[in-house]
């Protein structure tokens, strides 16, 4: 059976060729008095109002854009933002887009050397930075000759202008900037670096606006929704969600950072209809709700809680639904799972609203996204269901290319021999089930090769998370002279099980539940699992740890 006989998807959509700033200004015109942004606990010091209507938000970022223009910010300039989640961050993004500048978000947890790498690599000419982080920039400023403009948030530092003053001085004026949405860059987002140094992903206005419209329609977001965001805005997933909210006219309740207890409080306090988290944060929320000391909540408005960036174990999905029904007054809450990557702006698939029973899968392709599977060795397309291959895709949301990485650009694409069309090689392994739903299995570079067999670490991690003693886990392939690699698990135990269970007991528990060639050969107890800010496991760190031990 060829996939064309059973795959289905969303209908094709229309994507206006306008700038992202213009798209949001149209929302401001459509629902001017609707609440656009609410800043929720925990908060960082910020300069702008903690609650703004769409009219106020539009006026605020236009005033900021007007002042930034007077400082010399213009179309095509690369301007970095190193800010925690805040209304200031939200306004800065659209102010830069109003001028046609290229937005470069930077992780506020970066150290000086990491900050220097991104600023140098991106050729940033300016930065909007929180005053609490200014000392990092001060350490490296002498090595950044291109960086001419520094704007602070939270407090004024030296002679550098601050956002509060710039907004007060600015005029509400819609800029007439000639934007070519399909060609002009809106942002350069740096990937998390799970396989090495971060690389810049070039995204156009058309890429980001298309993806916002795709997911808004596929997930049925509207101006009646209240979206709780607790993940970092510098990351493509929360950044993408923010764009969806602004395009749809929904209310965006933004937390300064993730805190499971405050997520639970804020869903109740603001009547959130939707929220999401990466799997480690989702798990932490489940643990919080399951704690006997945690109070009862009223989540009556919550329709869907989604996960993304990495698959969540099916056992955790069931635990979430059970505890929300028992403790949050909501037996109807649904879970959804999305799949994407920075190169796709970032979303590629979702489960349709009426098929959230399939949320253990990553769903079906978004409107106008073409998803195929290929054999990673031969490049031949796989057309049968339930056969693992590398996912390749194309669509209006797929990026323009890697910034200053011509060789990686050349290797990033697969050409369909029948049509000549180019598809982005995601490096993700998975299969498509008979109903057309994509099931992610693992990263191509992270599979374990044991005696000729291919083992997906995620499958073993999902199994181990069913064990009552396991709080978190990561599995890698440990080099072995006879087998090639053997599965090794790094396990974080729940506090009540520490010093009460052995590695051998966990190995035996796994052996009874999985095929012989897949079974865990070694278990090591650790305090935490190294992860990127988006929650992806940094397996290379664990592999380097094993390699270092072997050398020593």
Question: Per-domain residue ranges for the chain?
Answer: 23-204, 363-443, 451-548
Helix 236-248 × helix 87-98 angle, to 10°? 70
Asked whether this chain's domains 23-204 and 451-548 adopt the same fold, the reply is no
493: Cβ contacts below 8 Å, ≥ 6 apart? 469, 470, 471, 501, 525
Structure tokens at 440: 């992610």
Tell which CATH classification among 3.30.300.30, 1.10.357.10, 3.40.50.150, 1.20.1280.290 matches the domain 451-548: 3.30.300.30
**Does 215 have pLDDT greater than 70?**
yes
| Predicted TM-score of the model (pTM) | 0.88
Is the Cα dihedral 77, 82, 85, 87 positive or negative? negative
Give 476-517 pLDDT, tens digit per residue. Answer: 999 888 888 899 999 999 999 999 999 999 999 999 988 888
The pLDDT of residue 132 is 95
The CATH class for the domain spanning 363-443 reads: mainly beta
CB contact at 8 A, 371 and 365 = yes
Q: Is the peptide bond before 346 cis (omega within 30 degrees of 0)?
A: yes
Of 348, 341, 337, 338, the residue nearest 396 (C-alpha)? 348
Looking at the chain, the whole-number percentage of residues with pLDDT higher than 70 is: 97
- SS3 call for 529: coil
- Give the separation between CA 552 and CA 548, rounded to whole angstroms: 6
Structure tokens at 150: 């520094």
The pLDDT of residue 550 is 58
Span 23-204: which CATH code? 3.40.50.12780
Give 404-439 pLDDT, tens digit per residue. Answer: 999 999 999 999 999 999 999 999 999 999 999 999
Give 338-395 pLDDT, tens digit per residue. Answer: 999 999 999 999 999 999 999 999 999 999 999 999 999 899 999 999 999 999 999 9
83: Cβ contacts below 8 Å, ≥ 6 apart? 89, 92, 108, 128, 129, 130, 153, 233, 234
Q: Measured between alpha carbons, how far is residue 309 from residues 174, 276, 316, 397, 452 in Å?
A: 36, 11, 16, 17, 29
Task: Report the residue count for the chain.
Answer: 552
């Amino acid at each position: 059976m060829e996939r064309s006989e059973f795959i289905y998807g969303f209908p094709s959509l229309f994507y206006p060729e306008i700038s992202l700033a213009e798209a949001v200004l149209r929302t401001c015109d459509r629902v001017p008095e609707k609440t656009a942004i609410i800043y929720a606990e925990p908060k960082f010091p910020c300069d702008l109002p903690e609650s703004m209507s769409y009219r106020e938000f539009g006026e605020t970022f236009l005033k900021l854009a007007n002042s930034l223009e007077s400082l010399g910010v213009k179309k095509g300039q690369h301007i970095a933002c190193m800010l925690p989640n805040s209304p200031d961050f939200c306004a800065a993004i659209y102010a830069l887009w109003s001028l046609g500048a290229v937005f470069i978000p930077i992780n506020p947890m970066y150290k000086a050397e990491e900050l220097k790498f991104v600023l140098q690599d991106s050729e940033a000419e300016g930065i909007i930075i929180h005053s609490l982080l200014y000392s990092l920039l001060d350490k490296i400023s002498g090595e950044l000759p291109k960086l001419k403009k520094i704007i602070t948030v939270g407090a004024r530092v030296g002679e550098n202008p601050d956002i509060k003053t710039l907004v007060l001085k600015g005029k509400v004026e819609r800029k007439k900037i000639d934007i070519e949405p399909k060609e002009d860059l809106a942002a350069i987002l740096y990937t998390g670096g799970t396989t090495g140094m971060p690389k810049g992903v070039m995204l156009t206005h058309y890429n980001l606006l298309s993806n916002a419209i795709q997911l808004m329609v596929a997930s049925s977001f509207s101006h009646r929704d209240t979206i709780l965001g607790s993940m970092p805005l510098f990351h493509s997933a929360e950044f993408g969600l923010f764009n969806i909210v602004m395009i749809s006219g929904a209310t965006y309740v933004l937390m300064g950072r993730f805190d499971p207890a405050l997520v639970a409080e804020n869903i109740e306090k603001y009547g959130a209809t939707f929220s999401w988290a990466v799997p480690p944060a989702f798990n932490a929320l489940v643990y919080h709700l399951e704690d006997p000391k945690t109070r009862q909540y009223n989540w009556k408005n919550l329709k869907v809680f989604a996960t993304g960036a990495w698959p969540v174990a099916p056992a955790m999905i069931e635990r979430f639904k059970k505890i929300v029904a028992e403790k949050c007054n909501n037996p109807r809450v649904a879970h959804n799972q999305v799949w994407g990557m920075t190169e796709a702006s970032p979303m590629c698939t979702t489960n349709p609203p009426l098929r959230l029973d399939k949320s253990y899968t990553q769903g079906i392709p978004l409107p106008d996204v073409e998803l195929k599977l290929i054999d990673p060795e031969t490049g031949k397309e796989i057309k049968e269901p339930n056969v693992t291959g590398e996912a390749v895709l194309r669509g209006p949301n797929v990026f323009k290319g890697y910034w200053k990485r011509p060789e990686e650009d050349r290797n990033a694409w697969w050409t369909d021999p029948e049509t000549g069309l180019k598809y982005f090689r995601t490096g993700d392994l998975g299969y498509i089930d008979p109903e057309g739903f994509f099931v992610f299995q693992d990263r191509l570079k992270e599979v374990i090769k044991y005696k000729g067999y291919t083992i997906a670490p995620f499958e073993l991690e999902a199994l181990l998370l069913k064990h009552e003693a396991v709080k978190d886990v990561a599995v890698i392939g440990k080099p072995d002279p006879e087998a090639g690699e053997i599965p090794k698990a790094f396990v974080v135990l729940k506090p009540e099980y520490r010093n009460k269970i052995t590695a051998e007991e966990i190995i035996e528990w796994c052996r009874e539940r999985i095929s012989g060639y897949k079974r865990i050969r070694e278990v090591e107890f650790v305090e935490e699992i190294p992860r990127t800010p988006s929650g992806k496991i940094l397996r290379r760190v664990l592999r380097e740890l094993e390699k270092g031990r072997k050398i020593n």
